Amino acid sequence: MKQQEDEWTTISEFEINRSNPSLSVGFELFAPVVISFPATTSTEFQLTLINPSSQARLAEVKLSGIPRIERYSEKTLEKMHLTPLPTPTQVTNSPASPEATGLEVDKMSRKWIAEHFDRSPQPPEPTGSRPAGPGNGRRIIG
């Protein structure tokens, strides 16, 4: 923020790292970064990038008086830690032995969780019948 002629005051310092665009670290490849700082009034603001990667690009910078949750993308799993954690569909699980390797299930979707359960090995049914429909009568909570 500009105080006086050629005099700038730092309002906030933060790190942005979107170096891993893989689906295994979040379903929004280049999720927005929200940084909150105290209410500030000035006629000029300056964003200084320190040691940016040669691949780094900014799509948009927006200053707003509307309250936002800082780093909400990370908090909603749109973008997670740079190494794989819980994963969406179209991503292979890892680490896993070759016979256990396969696509992850979208754990946020009732439909795909039901499909996952339907394809899982099941113990024999004592009555010899199973109800029809998603999840085959198993309760999906969420």
What percent of the chain shows pLDDT beyond 90? 0
Q: Which residues pair with 4 in a beta bridge?
A: 7
Distance in angstroms (rounded) separating the CA atoms of residues 26 and 111: 20
Q: Quick check: 14 pLDDT over 60?
A: yes
Distance in angstroms (rounded) separating the CA atoms of residues 89 and 77: 14
Mean pLDDT for 83-95 is 61
Mean pLDDT score across all residues of the chain: 75
Per-residue confidence (pLDDT) for residue 80, from 0 to 100:
64
* From 51-55, 91-95, 127-131, the region with the lowest mean pLDDT: 127-131
Q: Which residue has the higher pLDDT, 90 or 36?
A: 36
**pLDDT confidence band for 141 (50 / 70 / 90):** low
pTM above 0.85, yes or no: no
Q: Quick check: 78 pLDDT over 60?
A: yes
Q: Where are the alpha helices (DSSP H) in 10-138?
A: 72-75, 110-119
Q: Quick check: 140 pLDDT over 60?
A: no
Q: Quick check: 112 pLDDT over 80?
A: no
Q: What are the residue boundaries of the structural domains of the chain, listed by start?
A: 1-82
**pLDDT confidence band for 85 (50 / 70 / 90):** very low
Per-residue confidence (pLDDT) for residue 139, from 0 to 100:
54
Per-residue confidence (pLDDT) for residue 83, from 0 to 100:
56
Report residue 31: phi and psi, to 5°: -60, 150
